[in-house]
Structure 1
């Protein structure tokens, strides 16, 4: 049988119960709108990678075919029964109750488009609402089974809750993935992903800085902190001054806290300058002489290096050598 039959060329179509009606008949509007909702649900089904979402949608799509058969029947033959029954409505209610238990309550209106799947489900929901309005209009003049109207009402609620569960599950997946990346020391930067952990970077910095300190013959203490000023690695060469242990760490902290090198801070902390008295703040932790440098990667502040043990120029030379290793 060919796809085109030419029987509708005059603007009429046949109902399942054989009556001929015009294609803009309210009954045709009703089951045509349900068909439209079914297609939107198919879009959602094709986009999801979650088996439980796929199964819910697919099961409902099969029932919508039966619903359309009921809506396309004007006069139910004697002895025949409608395909959609109260048990189908109850089944939708049970699915809604199950989804509601896993959904995080929301106290605000939802703007569709949180994910591709939820957007398609919200589209299907609005089409189902339109189908329900068509059925309400149809019931004013013709026979429609009560379960059919109830089914559409419950289905719109189900699609709303399902869309929210899909959004929330994807959000949880994203947050969990991000937390795991941070815990593993994997940072996402503008311009690409860097797989080196902060500890790996610190070790590389310290190795290069120590090499330079050996070259100039000055034992140093080298400290590396992360973007929050927290210690990542602390290295004291044999013979380095004990005082340099805390000074190196404070230099690294200052570089991160001010987002500038400590020699720049020194110039601004002179009498009459903007940061005069800075060294007396934060319990005296701010260091205003050279040897501390912030560490940037792809324009993002990721930490700081602090060096102490020699003259200011020697400390700065060693810190810069360490930084050059990245």
Structure 2
């Protein structure tokens, strides 16, 4: 297992004895060579989880094991060395590139920081990486403002690979791009994964993209994982009402296909003052009194988990219901 995250929490203090529980007990594992998806609405804690993994944000509690190494309890020197193996691609490629640095300088920067190779070797690798992501090496002496959004994201992907990482975190890496450009970048990511034996943590709010790219997925709501499993299970055997509402919002290209859209009522509650019990109950169309209790994270299929009190209720009802026998 490449990444093992267990009971990870991040609580931001916003007042006297008041905390925003941005991430509240998240656990998942990422196998080497797979693409793991984190999905949910804005503000659910996806990016905070990713930033804690790379220690850009310090976790409140929990453990992060990367290749067997506890990233939470290692020294700054050891963390600096481990960061070569974990790289990140952000949502806005223009904000990720220094506007006054030429592209070749931006690509060489990771090698400069870790003092890898000679200047000529760094330049050669930077130009090679540009060609690998589909850009001509003649673009190396240009500045970020001279490129389109899709080209800039290709550059950011190239920079993330300069140190030959094992894990690349893609934080909404295609959400700011046109649909046609999105498909090109997604195909590029698949190609690079095979070529460099990469593992991805893919963060998105677009479930159709997650379905195309990911092997396993966790659905987050208000800092907690509400459903988790492989992509086929989560998409075809959906068990949590929140996941069902997200899936119902995916546009269909088949005009004859009728899909019942699930419209959620109200707004996402504040993580500083979440509802008691199930955090989703104030918006859930199926909510009952039992939802005021804290829901367990139960296995609804092999490797498929869901955090919903109604699942347990119906399971108990089925177990206590007498099965008629022939006399």
Q: Taking structure 1 as the reference length, what is the TM-score of the superposition?
A: 0.24
Compare CA radii of gyration and give the structure with the larger one.
Answer: 1
Which structure is higher in helix share?
1
Q: Taking structure 2 as the reference length, what is the TM-score of the superposition?
A: 0.24
* Greater relative CO (CA pairs within 8 A, separation 6+): 2
